[in-house]
Every structure is written in structure tokens, then in C-alpha cells.
Amino acid sequence: MKSQELILLNETILDFFGMRVNPFTNTPNIEFHYESRSFQEGYSAIYYVISRRLGFGMITGEVGTGKTQLLRYFLKNSPFHMVSAVVLNPLVKPRDLLKLILADFGVKEALKVRQISVLINLLYDFTLKKAQEGERVVIFIDEAQDLPLDTLESLRLISNFETEDSKLIDIILVGQPELEENLKRYELRQLDQRIWVRLRLRPLDMDEVEPYLVTRFEKSGAGRIFDNFIIGEVYNFSKGIPRLINALMERALLSAFVDDSKIIRPRHIKRAIESLMGER
């Protein structure tokens, strides 16, 4: 069944299963946060970079492994007294990236500036002021594999901001594995050498699929509404990638609803797989 029909049936399906919200939307909703082992490692990696003021950290992962979810969760639950800028669309030139960052920090005068050197000075003054106030300054860049090479190199210049004691700014790059390949280019070797912490998010292991589903269903208000026999099929199809699990389970809910079944069974997973494969 097409996605438009899924949306039209959504409220009815939620009521049928006793859910207040759809637990398997593919938006990075931290309400449905599940701490897989890889997620915990990713959180710890970001924490370590900022706590030690190392300057650069990098989180990579295949599409659908939860990179943006991790980023949003950290921003919501950060233990640090920090100010942060989040860049979600990094396909920009160096000057525009600096403007985006300064705008996120609330430095309004940057909007009228055209010279990169002036923008860099504005950012330096901001980070120095925040350091004197006891605040950490962190830039998070999502989809960082899309950063043009000259924009990536400009980040190295920003990372030079420091006092005698520590870095004034930390930069967390979050992106697909292509980011790792980009950084291997000869012209980016200096930037690559400055990335102290690198972590690649992994898909869920098979033993994490069941608690992942339980967490999602419980937080939606439904409780455990699936047969244990579906776990292997869900894992085999999705390879543990949360986005694929979500897409599969949303269609399985629809299949169970059509069957007038309050429990998701292997036959519903089979139909959901057929539905997804038919859309490819």
C-alpha cells in the first residue's frame, strides 16, 4: 500500500492498537530513543571531544543508522554548559557557512559582512567571550559529507581558535562514510590529522532488535504487540538499520490491522517485505 494510504489510515491504526503516536515514523524523534551499544559509543565519543576540548570529532554511519537521532539526543541531553550551532545544510561556500554559524550563535552583524576575514574575527571574538564566561562553544555539522572541499578546509582555520590553556571551539562532523573518503584527499591532510576522535555508527545487532521494538511500542502506549518469531525476519530484511526496521514495521502494522489482529505475526512481516520490495 502506498505511503499516502498509510497516512490516511494512520489514526485508525493507532486507535486499533491503543497507540497515541506512530512509533515508526522515519523522522529522528528522540522521544523514541533506544540506547543501542553503537549509540552509546557515539554519545561517548561526542562527550569525550567536548569534555577534553579536542577541537574535532567525527561520527559517520550508513544512511538510516541514526546519526541525526544521536545528534539531536546529545543536543537535548548535553551535560555541558555550552552554546551550539547546528548546520543541517552544509552544501555552502566558506563565507556562507561562517554566516550560518554566526547567525545560529545570534551574532546578527555577520549578516551584512562579506569579507571572510571579518567573519572569522567575529567568530573568534564570540568564542573568546564565551570562554571567559565559562561556556563551551560547539559547532555540529550534519550531512558533513556534502561539505565542499574549500568549506571543509575553512573549518581547519576555525579550529585554530585557542588560548594557552585550551581550544575555544569544538567541531563535530556527522555524515555518511563518504566523509571519511573526502578527508583522505591530499589537500585535506592537515584537517584529517586534527580529527582526534572518529566513530562509525553500526546497525543494531540481532539481539538489539527485540528491545528496540519493545521500546518503540511501549513509548507509543501500545505495549508488546508482536510475536517473538518476527525478530529474525525483521533483522534479516533490515540488517539492523533502524530506518529500514521502521519502514518494515509501519507496513506490518497496517497488515495486522487489515487482518484484524492485535499482534504482529510473521505473515504480516512477510507482506510488509513484499510491499517494500514492490516499491523499489
pLDDT, mean of residues 130-138: 94
Q: Which of 174, 201, 228 finishes a domain? A: 201
Residues 69 and 193 reside in one and the same domain: yes
Residues in CB range of 8: below 8 A, 6 or more apart? none
Residues 223 and 135 reside in one and the same domain: no
pLDDT at residue 103 in the model: 94
Residues 64 and 180 reside in one and the same domain: yes
Residues 47 and 185 reside in one and the same domain: yes
Residues 82 and 180 reside in one and the same domain: yes
**Positive or negative: CA dihedral 187, 193, 196, 197:** positive
Residues 44 and 155 reside in one and the same domain: yes
| Main-chain dihedrals φ then ψ at residue 73, nearest 5 degrees | -65, -45
Helix, strand and coil in the chain, % to nearest 5: 55, 10, 30
Cell 540506547 belongs to residue: 35
Residues 57 and 174 reside in one and the same domain: yes
Tell whether 50 is covered by a domain.
yes
Distance CA 144, CA 252 (A): 33
Q: Which of 137, 168, 201 finishes a domain? A: 201
pLDDT, mean of residues 45-59: 96
Helix (H, G, I), strand (E, B) or coil at 22: coil
Domain at 91, CATH number: 3.40.50.300
Between residues 10 and 156, the one the model is more confident about: 156
pTM for this predicted structure: 0.91
Set of cell numbers at residue 149: 572541499
| Main-chain dihedrals φ then ψ at residue 28, nearest 5 degrees | -75, 75
Residues 141, 174 contacting (CB under 8 angstroms)? yes
- Residue 214 pLDDT greater than 60, yes or no: yes
**Count of domains forming the chain:** 2
Residues 192 and 210 reside in one and the same domain: no
Residues 45 and 132 reside in one and the same domain: yes
Reported as a single tens digit per residue, the pLDDT across 168-203 is 999 999 999 999 999 999 999 999 999 999 999 999
Cell 571572510 belongs to residue: 116
- Residue 7 pLDDT greater than 90, yes or no: no
* Closest to 82 in 3D by CA, of 33, 121, 46: 46
Q: What is each CA distance from 154 to 73, 116, 163, 224, 245, in whole angstroms?
A: 27, 10, 19, 49, 38
Residues 168 and 93 reside in one and the same domain: yes
Q: How confident is the model at residue 10 (pLDDT cuts 50, 70, 90)?
A: confident
Residues 78 and 164 reside in one and the same domain: yes
Residues 111 and 226 reside in one and the same domain: no
Helix (H, G, I), strand (E, B) or coil at 17: helix
Q: How confident is the model at residue 245 (pLDDT cuts 50, 70, 90)?
A: very high
Residues 233, 269 contacting (CB under 8 angstroms)? yes
Q: What is the mean pLDDT of the chain?
A: 93
**Domain of 79?**
37-201
Q: Which of 201, 230, 245 finishes a domain? A: 201
Q: Which helix (H) or strand (E) holds 267?
A: helix 266-279
Q: What is each CA distance from 38 to 76, 97, 207, 212, in whole angstroms?
A: 19, 30, 13, 13
Residues 10, 24 contacting (CB under 8 angstroms)? no
